[in-house]
Amino acid sequence: MALSSIELLDDARRVDSFDCGKPALNAWLADFARRNQARGFIRVLVIHDEGTVVGYYGLAPGQRERAAGAGRGTLERRESRCR
């Protein structure tokens, strides 16, 4: 196994066989990662073995903060787009 360095996810990387043991994370990578990255919501960084993704993480520029005077669990959304 010759692992790559950390790279931005692109169309050349295969995600269909990725399995981290968490079905929701596997599904997010396969179904949403590229689309959300294209829209600027997140940057997905991957490590691959000859093009097949074996690890990933996502960086999002948004944050959530409690709104002034809000009750417990009420969050105000602030976000920006990845450029």
d(CA 32, CA 10): 13
Secondary structure, 3-state, 31-51: HCHHHHHHCCCCEEEEEEECC
pTM of the model: 0.72
Q: Write the DSSP symbol of residue 17.
A: T
Q: What are 15-66's pLDDT values in tens digits?
A: 999 999 999 999 999 999 999 999 999 999 999 999 999 999 999 887 666 5
Say what the pLDDT of residue 1 is.
75
Q: Is the pLDDT of residue 5 over 90?
A: yes
What is the predicted pLDDT for the residue at 21? 95
Please state the φ and ψ torsions of residue 33, each to the nearest 5 degrees: -55, -55
Contact call for residues 67 and 19 (beta carbons, < 8 A) = no
Q: Which amino acid is at 7?
A: E
